[in-house]
Amino acid sequence: MDGGSLVAQVLANHGVRWLFTLCGGHISPILVAAKRAGIRIVAVRDEKNAVFAADAVARLTGIPGVAAVTAGPGVTNTITAVKNAQLAQSPLVLLGGATATVLRGRGSLQDIDQMALIRPHVKWAARPNKLKEVVPALEEAFLRARSGVPGPVFVELAVDLLYDESVVREWYAAKTDGPVRSLGDRLVKWYLKRHLDKTFGGADQMPRAEPKIPEAAAPDPNEVHRAEKLLSTARRPVMLVGSQTMLNPPEVTKLIGAVSLLGIPTYLSGMARGLMGAAHPLQMRHKRRNALREADLVILSGVTCDFRLDYGAHIPKRATLIAANRCKADLVKNRKPDLAVLGDPHRFLCQLASIHEPPADGGEIGAARGEWLKTLRDRDRARDAEIVTMGEEKIEPINPVSIHRSLEERLAADSMIVADGGDFVATCSYITRPRRALSWLDPGVFGTLGVGAGFALGAKLVRPDADVWLVYGDGSAGYSLAELDTFVRLGIPVIALVGTDAGWMQITRDQVVILGDDVGTVLRRTDYHTVAEGWGARGLLLDDPAKIDATLDEAISISRGGSPVLVNAQIGVSDFRKGSISM
C-alpha cells in the first residue's frame, strides 16, 4: 500500500517513458517505483530544466511530459518553466512533493502553501489527502492536461502518501513512543491513529480505470464550408500556421498533406517551423509583414493576433480574416475575425483541404494566385541573396550570419534545432531551414531564456538518432550550462553552439540607440568551451572564420561518436537584426 507504486503505475499506463526530476526525500518513493516500472529516471541539475524537458517531450510526442520535484524550493524553482508551458499550451504533469498530511502548516521542512503559489500558472491542481485519492487525481491530471486548450497541471503528493503504510505507521508511532502521562498524550495517540486509518482506509479497493484520451474539438462543418467559399474567391491568400496546429504529433503527416492540398502561400511559426520541409514550393520565409498587408484573405491557424502580428495591425481591414483556434479568448484577441472557427486548427485545415477545389490555372483567379505566388517567391529569393551578401561582410572576429549559413548547409535530414537566446538565435531562425516537421523548439510566446538544455534533453531522448543542435546566445547559455553534466552523465550527445559576443545584444541594440547607455548589457568573452570540458563534455573554440566549416563538422563527428560537445563561436556585431525590438 504505497503511493509511490501507484503513481508509477499510472505513469506507465499513460505511456510515460521518462520521468524528469531532481531528487528529494519527499519524492524518493516515486522515483524508485517508476524505475522499477521501466520508466527512465532523468535527473537534472535544476528543477526548471526537468519541466522544460517534460515540455519538449509533450510537444514532440503529444503525450504529457512528466516532472517530479521535491517540496518547497523544488516546486518554486519550476514556476518559470511551468508558466512557459502554460503560455505555450504544452500538456505536462508536474508532481510536487510535500510535507506529511498531519504536519501541514506546522513549520516542517520546506512546507509552504504550494497550491496557492502554483494555481495561477496551471490549468488544474490537486492535493490528494488520502491514499485512495492519489490515482483518481493523477488520472484527472492527465485528462485535463490534454483536454481543450492543453497546458500544465499540478498534483501535490504528501510524503506520507508515498511510502509503504507500515513504514508510515512506524514513523508516527516513533513520534508518540513513550509513557502516556496525561489525557493529552492519549488524545494525541488517538488522533494520529484515527488520521492514519483515514489516510490509508479504502486504498485497497480503488478501481483501476483505463486512461482517457480526450479528442480535440472538431470545428463546425458549416464554418469549414464557409471558409472554403471565402477561400475559393481569394486572389492573394496567405496562411499562417502556428504552434497550436502542432498539438497532434502522431497525425502530422495528414497536416502536411492538407497544407499542400490548400495550395496557398504559407508562413510557419513556432513549433510549426519545418512542417513542410526545407524547400516546399508553398512555404514562404521572408517579408511576412509585406505579404499580410497585400493579402486579400488571411488564414490564421493556431495563431493569435498578439505582439508578433502587431496586435493584428499587420492584417489590413480590407482583407478577409479567417482564424481557427482552440481558445475562445485567443481567437478574438485584438482583432475579431470575419470567420472565427472555435476548434482544433489541425482538424480545421484537414477538413478544409478535404473539400477545397483549387481554382483552375487558366482561370482568372488561378492566374492571379499564380502571379501572387511568384511575387512572394521572388521576394524570398531576393532576401536570401541579401543574406548571402551580409554573410560575406567582414566582421571581427566572425560574422554571425556566416556561422548560421554554414550550419544550414550541415543540417541533416533528421536534425533538430533548439533555440535559446536573443540576437544570435533570432538570426539563426531567419537563415536555417528545419528539415522536417517537429524539428524546431523555441520557448514560444513567453520568450523565456533558459529553455535550451531542458528542451535539448527532452528532444534527444525522443529522437536519439537525430543531430540535436542547441543554439545558445552567450547570455542565455548561463542559465543551463550546468546541464552539460547531465548530458555527460546520461550519455546525451547534444551539440551546443554558443554565439559569444560578450553582451545581451538584443537588448544592447536598442538600449544604446534610445538611451545612450549599455549598462547591464555587457558580458565577457567567457571560455565556454573550457567550461564544457570541466563538466566532462568536449569543447571547441571557433575564433577564425576560415575554420567555421571544419569546426562544425568536428562537432557533428564528436556528437555522433556519443559525446556532448560545445562550440564557443566568437562573433562580432552585425546589422542583420537592427531595429528588431519586440514589445
Q: Which domain holds residue 57?
A: 3-205
Q: Are residues 226 and 201 in the same domain?
A: no
Q: Are residues 227 and 284 in the same domain?
A: yes
In a domain, 365, yes or no: yes
Q: Determine the average pLDDT of the residues in 253-266.
A: 97
CA distance 537 to 543: 19
In a domain, 581, yes or no: no
Residue 575 confidence (pLDDT): 78
Residue that terminates a domain, selected from 354, 378, 402: 378
Residue 1 confidence (pLDDT): 64
Confidence band, pLDDT 50/70/90 cuts, at residue 275: very high
Q: Are residues 199 and 60 in the same domain?
A: yes
Give the CATH number, domain containing residue 252: 3.40.50.1220
| DSSP-derived 3-state class of residue 567 | strand
Residue 583 confidence (pLDDT): 54
pLDDT in tens, 346-393: 999 999 999 999 888 879 999 999 999 999 999 999 999 999 999 999
Confidence band, pLDDT 50/70/90 cuts, at residue 101: confident
In a domain, 210, yes or no: no
- Note the pTM of the prediction, 2 decimals: 0.95
Q: Are residues 225 and 136 in the same domain?
A: no
Q: Is the pLDDT of residue 488 over 90?
A: yes
Q: Are residues 436 and 461 in the same domain?
A: yes
Give the CATH number, domain containing residue 54: 3.40.50.970
Return the beta strands (E) in 415-457 as ranges.
416-420, 440-441
Q: Are residues 113 and 25 in the same domain?
A: yes
Specify which residues 300 forms β-bridges with: 240, 323
Total structural domains within the chain: 3
In a domain, 558, yes or no: yes
Q: Are residues 86 and 162 in the same domain?
A: yes
Q: Determine the average pLDDT of the residues in 438-456.
A: 96
Interhelix angle 423-431/505-515, nearest 10 degrees? 110
Residue 166 confidence (pLDDT): 87
Q: Is the pLDDT of residue 179 over 90?
A: no
CB atoms closer than 10 angstroms to residue 398 = 23
Residue 577 confidence (pLDDT): 66
Q: Are residues 51 and 118 in the same domain?
A: yes
- Range with the lowest mean pLDDT among 51-65, 100-114, 496-510? 100-114
Q: Are residues 181 and 39 in the same domain?
A: yes
Q: Are residues 33 and 181 in the same domain?
A: yes
- Range with the lowest mean pLDDT among 102-111, 174-183, 279-288, 538-547? 174-183
Which CA distances in Å does 290 have to 315, 380, 508?
10, 12, 27
Residue 178 confidence (pLDDT): 66
Residue 183 confidence (pLDDT): 78
Residue that terminates a domain, selected from 173, 205, 237: 205
In a domain, 196, yes or no: yes
Q: Is the pLDDT of residue 582 over 70?
A: no
Q: Are residues 360 and 396 in the same domain?
A: no
Residue that terminates a domain, selected from 378, 401, 431: 378
pLDDT in tens, 29-45: 999 999 999 999 999 99
In a domain, 216, yes or no: no
Whole-number average pLDDT of the chain? 94
Confidence band, pLDDT 50/70/90 cuts, at residue 165: confident
Confidence band, pLDDT 50/70/90 cuts, at residue 552: very high
CA distance 505 to 425: 11
Please name which of 100, 82, 80, 103 lies closest in space to residue 92, comparing C-alpha atoms: 82
274: region left, alpha or beta (phi > 0 left; psi from -120 to 50 alpha):
left
Interhelix angle 548-560/400-410, nearest 10 degrees? 40
In a domain, 112, yes or no: yes
Q: Determine the average pLDDT of the residues in 464-476.
A: 97
Q: Are residues 25 and 167 in the same domain?
A: yes
In a domain, 131, yes or no: yes
CA distance 48 to 252: 29
Residue 259 confidence (pLDDT): 97
